[in-house]
Chains A and B, each alone.
Chain A
Amino acid sequence: MKIIVCIKQVPETGNVKIDPQTHTLIRSGVPSIINPLDTYAIEEALRWKEKLGASTLVLSMGPPQAEEALREAVSMGIDQALLLTDRRFAGADTYATAYTLSLAIRKLAPYDLIFCGKQAIDGDTAQVGPALAEHLGIPHIAYVKKIEDIDLQKATVRAHRLMEDGYEILDSRLPALLTVVKEINEPRFPSLKGKMRAKKLEIPIWGADDLGGEVANFGLSGSPTQVKGIFAPPARGKGEILTGEAPLIAQTLIERLKAQKII
């Protein structure tokens, strides 16, 4: 069995600040981590590898420093890593990202399963996983909270998909793509041995030319959606407590509401 895990490197959100002039994220000095939801995808791949035997590969598209995130996945126990990095990939929206990933995965075929985290904590779209499956022309199950069984003989997977009011049990043929939610497992701590292996592992880097495909479909030019602006929601002002006699308070309140054109 071959399992591919797609991950994204994101800034640690606890520390993210927005530049008041440019309205973009200030990335410098903010530590980068594996998108937390992707660590569940990594863990799930490792569990099935331990159960059924599998080769595992972690894949990411991002800037050169995304290699750190790949190494961290390897330190948890993933066998191989592959980084897609090229200036022409920059500015990709979910569509272009999924397209780029799909070209790489086509080159990596055959494979049985692709695991993704439900969504990234920076963009929060939850679209890349399903879009990737569409580009590849394979079935997907999103929001998986449990994989009941993988039957390699019959080439099927049975998974529990988390819904707002319960869960669905779905069967799919393999190969399939599954996006996982945090209820599915608990990611392990990287092992010392894994960390040593991760330090030394050669990580191949593929650029646009390695993937083939239409260059115009990569990055910003391949993105149907574009970010027009980013802004922090305005901080809520301090509340005001009116004190004094009740009739006076009522009068003040009416005046204030009128002034604000609320009444």
Chain B
Amino acid sequence: MEREDLVRKISIQEITPGCPYLQDESHLAPGMAEAIYFPTEEDEISALVAQFQKTGTAVTISGARTGVVGGAVPAGGGVILAMERMSRILGVKRCQKTRAWLIQVEPGLSLRSFQRQVESKNFEGIDQEGNVRDFMQDPSLYFYPPDPTEATATLGGIVAANSSGARSLAYGSTRNYVQRLRVVLATGEILDITRGEHQADRSGTIPVQTTEGSKLLIPIPTYQMPAVKSAAGYYAKPGMDLIDLFIGAEGTLGVITYLELRLVPRPDKIFSGIAFFPDPDQAIKFAQKIRILRSDPLSRIKPIAIEYFDQHSLSILRQGRQQEESRGAFFADFPLSAQSAIFFEQFYQKDEELEDIYEHWQVALEEHGVNMDDTWGGFNEQELEKMKRFRHALPEILNEIFRERKRRYPTIHKVSADLAVPEPYLEEMISLYRTRIEEQGLEYVLFGHIGECHLHLNILPRDDEEMLRAQELSFEFAAKAVSLGGCVSAEHGIGKLKHRLLELLYGPHGIEEMVRVKLLLDPKGILNRGNIFPESYLPSLR
């Protein structure tokens, strides 16, 4: 029996239209698949992928399907490779250079489970010997900083998307914590990439050898990435590390089968809060001030996250709260006068620091019209969790609103923009959003990672006609962000829904450069077909 025949499989007869593997958290219609495979070992994946390469069968890699741009939707048919059975923590290592702890893990493990096991130093199902024992006995606390909102996402998916989250303000995105990857290429061959071992040479090529001995010369794209948070297209920089090409490649270059993720020491004290501003603009001005104070050595204001809520977000939250009240309020009431709000979170080491930290925040907040009696505070995980409920409730309430609107207009959905701009242009961008959307009389909310000048704009169309106008506006905003040196997708990725935006950012030439990399590693374009660039680009360069 061949290796691939041993893999557990669901075949086409059993795949019903409502099958969860055919869709993700995006509004993209469910795809189709001939079979779903549930591999448990790398060599199974290698054998399967090599076989599909021969037949030219499309392969869609499936994690927890929490993406919002359709990355896991098998839009063009073919087969699905579901990674959920590869969810073990395999071991612990010390980085030879930095002595940092590295956790060896399979790609199908959820972020939540990974974080819990790491923070409690309680690994399920592995022997407590050697490095594992040393790690458990290390008295310091550690954590894995990337905190994308969707903690059910898998580690493989998170790396493929280079996810970030609120804490990326201080800790950066997933990329910074990936030390080693093993990747099965479309040919079935395997690349074992440790950070620091394969860099681009002066000609812009990365030479590398697969574990089977094939030599590859990977040409890195020459476009310049925007100098802001970005999850749009392949990572490309002179002298770059090969591992960075695969992080954020949305599964178009290979299947991640093994990861080594770096932990960092965790300060155990938390100072967090939500401040409510009586004016819509004060939260924006406050965030601007905090961005300056963060880098001032004299200031004790050193947040790891700053999140913004505009007046529309607050009114949606209030509305959702009222509806929810019969089921028991899910977050506390907030001042009626609030016109904007900021969530902030800071770590600190010693109790003696707290007073000082509080006073610095108090001065800054009061300068922007905040009443300290109305400002929520949290000094531990449980209280922080309660505040996060406030933050996470917004998308949930919006989904609820759209479930209702879809009854009347089945094809409408919220139109989201995930744009980041360089700091000097943030206010200009916000004022453009407001003016253009209000001119058109559309509903919207604006919220998110204001510390990194990256806000989530959701336009909320009420009918099909508004939907079209919202889409036009969102394209207009993306073009504006590009003209200001910003990014068209700071966090969500490109997937199957943002091809046009990627073209805006890098132009056809930039996309062709990405396609060159893609076809070198995946000549028939079988892996995650439709992600990042439209299929139309693939044959044209073959």
Nearest residue (CB) in A for B333 is A186
Task: With a 10 A CB-CB cut-off, give which of A187, A189, A196 has the most chain B CB atoms.
Answer: A189
The answer to whether B376 touches A189 (Cβ under 8 A) is yes
The complex places the Cα of A31 from the Cα of B379 at a distance, in Å, of: 15
> Of the candidates B273, B332, B358, which one forms a contact with A187 in the assembled complex, judged by CB atoms under 8 Å apart?
B332
The answer to whether B375 touches A191 (Cβ under 8 A) is yes
Q: Does B509 contact A (CB under 8 A)?
A: no
The answer to whether A191 touches B332 (Cβ under 8 A) is no
- Which residues of chain A (76-99) have a CB below 8 Å from chain B? 77
Q: Does B377 contact A (CB under 8 A)?
A: yes
The answer to whether B372 touches A192 (Cβ under 8 A) is yes
The answer to whether B377 touches A190 (Cβ under 8 A) is yes
Interface string of A181-201 (1 = CB under 8 A from B): 000001111111111100100
The answer to whether A192 touches B333 (Cβ under 8 A) is no
Contacts of A75 in B (CB 8 A): 377
Nearest residue (CB) in B for A192 is B377
Q: Does B427 contact A (CB under 8 A)?
A: no
- Nearest-neighbour CB distance to chain A for B437, whole angstroms, equals 31
Given A196-B355, A196-B358, A199-B354, check contact A191 B376 (CB 8 Å).
yes
Contacts of B329 in A (CB 8 A): 186
> Of the candidates A77, A187, A192, which one forms a contact with B375 in the assembled complex, judged by CB atoms under 8 Å apart?
A192
The complex places the Cα of A199 from the Cα of B377 at a distance, in Å, of: 12
The complex places the Cα of A84 from the Cα of B19 at a distance, in Å, of: 59
Give the number of chain A interface residues (Cβ < 8 Å). Answer: 15
- Nearest-neighbour CB distance to chain B for A14, whole angstroms, equals 12
Q: How large is the interface on B (under 10, 10 to 19, 20 to 34, 35 or more residues)?
A: 20 to 34
Given A31-B382, A199-B354, check contact A193 B332 (CB 8 Å).
no
The answer to whether A190 touches B354 (Cβ under 8 A) is no
Nearest residue (CB) in B for A196 is B358
The complex places the Cα of A197 from the Cα of B88 at a distance, in Å, of: 46
Nearest residue (CB) in A for B328 is A182
The complex places the Cα of A75 from the Cα of B376 at a distance, in Å, of: 10
> Of the candidates A190, A194, A196, A199, which one forms a contact with B383 in the assembled complex, judged by CB atoms under 8 Å apart?
A190
Contacts of A188 in B (CB 8 A): 332-333
Contacts of B376 in A (CB 8 A): 189-192
Contacts of A196 in B (CB 8 A): 354-355, 358, 377
- Which residues of chain B (373-411) have a CB below 8 Å from chain A? 373-379, 382-383, 386-387
The answer to whether B379 touches A193 (Cβ under 8 A) is no
Contacts of B374 in A (CB 8 A): 191
Q: A75-B377, A190-B383, A196-B358 are in contact. List 4 more A-B contacts (CB 8 A).
A: A189-B332, A190-B376, A191-B374, A193-B377
What are 15 pairs between A and B in contact, CB < 8 Å?
Answer: A75-B377, A77-B373, A186-B333, A188-B332, A189-B334, A189-B386, A191-B374, A191-B376, A192-B358, A192-B372, A193-B372, A195-B377, A195-B379, A196-B377, A199-B354
